């Protein structure tokens, strides 16, 4: 590379890094449009693989989708998300009663397994889990995980359009990314923040982890914990955050059984 182009390339990276700093001072080399494109590609790959991701038909189970979208909308209308109007926040149910998991891709494509829906006891707990997953997208944590896995140089090449094959690989591997404990802690924290401005019990996510702890995870590691590290102080941290902002920790009383009974 000639010196002038090398300098221009380094300048582009420097300017891009400084223009894409997030509110916590970290660097995000992806634009909002990049997040949306990655999320769309992941959603297309999921739709094309019904054997691995059997999406519950909305036409056959409209009541289930209406119920789940109402939870999503209460969280979005909390006024606490940075990218409420930027991302699609589409929601799908994956039919697998043996899988305790949920995830949200960049760009706001939300997937909730029927297994975790049926495992939970209250709508507050599900709202807490969904708030956590939506926080990963809203706080743009996938970039942190991708940087750890691929390195800055590879990601810059992808962003600049120099490695389109890697973009497809990147979208595929997004489904298996493991978040750092820092990202997990922030997602837990923002789940509380989001729910604090809804009718839900703001520490609803703690209920999920309390149930996992009480049941001993049935002797197996749930899928959720295979991609979400579970430090011992997680429940306490969620409850401490709720106490620090003084949000409501009383159960909302929504009839969650109606939702569970609407599923096949």
pLDDT in tens, 88-122: 999 999 999 999 999 999 999 999 999 999 999 99
Q: Which long-range contacts (CB under 8 A, 24 or more apart) does 90-94 make?
A: 90/43, 91/65, 92/46, 92/55, 92/56, 93/55, 93/56, 93/61, 93/64, 93/65, 93/68, 93/117, 93/263, 94/53, 94/54, 94/55, 94/56
Output the pLDDT for position 7: 35
Output the pLDDT for position 232: 60
Please report, rounded to a whole number, the percentage of residues in the chain having pLDDT higher than 70: 80
Q: How far is CA 236 from the centre of its chain?
A: 21
Output the pLDDT for position 168: 66
Residue 180 CA to residue 192 CA, distance in Å, equals 19
Q: Mean pLDDT, to the nearest integer, of 223-227?
A: 57
Q: Mean pLDDT, to the nearest integer, of 218-236?
A: 61
Indicate the pairing of strand 90-94 with strand 109-113. parallel
Could you give the C-alpha distances from 45 to 10, 53, 70, 204, 223, in angstroms and in order? 34, 10, 26, 31, 20
Tokens for 229, please give them: 């590290």
First to last CA, the chain: 60
In-domain check, residue 5: no
Query: Which of 4-8, 48-52, 63-67, 199-203 has the weakest average pLDDT?
Result: 4-8
**245 or 158, higher pLDDT:** 245
CA dihedral 56, 33, 75, 69 (to 10 degrees): -20
In-domain check, residue 2: no
In-domain check, residue 13: no
- Of the pLDDT bands very low, low, confident and very high (cuts 50, 70, 90), residue 229 is low
In-domain check, residue 193: yes
In-domain check, residue 92: yes
* pTM of the predicted structure, to 2 decimals: 0.85
In-domain check, residue 152: yes
Mean pLDDT of the chain: 84
Domain range for 150 is: 24-262
Domain count, the chain: 1
Comparing CA positions, the residue from 71, 49, 47 lying closest to residue 129 is 71
In-domain check, residue 1: no
Output the pLDDT for position 163: 65
Output the pLDDT for position 219: 43
Output the pLDDT for position 84: 98
Q: Mean pLDDT, to the nearest integer, of 177-202?
A: 94
Q: Mean pLDDT, to the nearest integer, of 25-40?
A: 81
Output the pLDDT for position 12: 40
């Amino acid at each position: 590379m000639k010196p002038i182009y090398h300098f221009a390339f380094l300048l582009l990276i420097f300017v891009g890094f400084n223009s894409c700093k997030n509110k916590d001072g970290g660097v995000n080399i992806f634009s909002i449009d990049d997040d949306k494109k990655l999320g769309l590609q992941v959603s297309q790959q999921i739709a094309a693989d019904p054997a691995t991701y059997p999406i519950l038909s909305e036409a056959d189970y409209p009541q289930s989708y209406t119920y789940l979208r109402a939870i999503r909308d209460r969280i979005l209308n909390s006024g606490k998300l940075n990218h409420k109007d930027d991302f699609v926040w589409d929601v799908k149910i994956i039919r697998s009663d043996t899988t305790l998991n949920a995830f949200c891709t960049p760009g706001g494509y939300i997937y909730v397994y029927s297994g975790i829906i049926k495992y939970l006891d209250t709508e507050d707990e599900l709202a807490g889990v969904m708030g956590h997953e939506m926080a990963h997208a809203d706080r743009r944590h996938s970039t942190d995980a991708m940087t750890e896995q691929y390195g800055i140089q590879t990601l810059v090449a992808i962003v600049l359009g120099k490695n389109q094959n890697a973009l497809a690989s990147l979208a595929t591997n997004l489904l298996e990314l493991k978040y750092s404990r820092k990202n997990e802690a922030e997602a837990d924290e923002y789940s509380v923040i989001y729910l604090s401005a809804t009718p839900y019990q703001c520490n609803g996510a703690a209920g999920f982890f309390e149930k996992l702890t009480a049941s001993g995870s049935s002797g197996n590691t749930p899928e959720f914990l295979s991609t979400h590290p579970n430090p011992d102080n997680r429940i306490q941290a969620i409850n401490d955050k709720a106490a620090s902002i003084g949000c409501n920790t009383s159960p909302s009383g929504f009839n969650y059984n109606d939702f569970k009974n609407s599923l096949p």
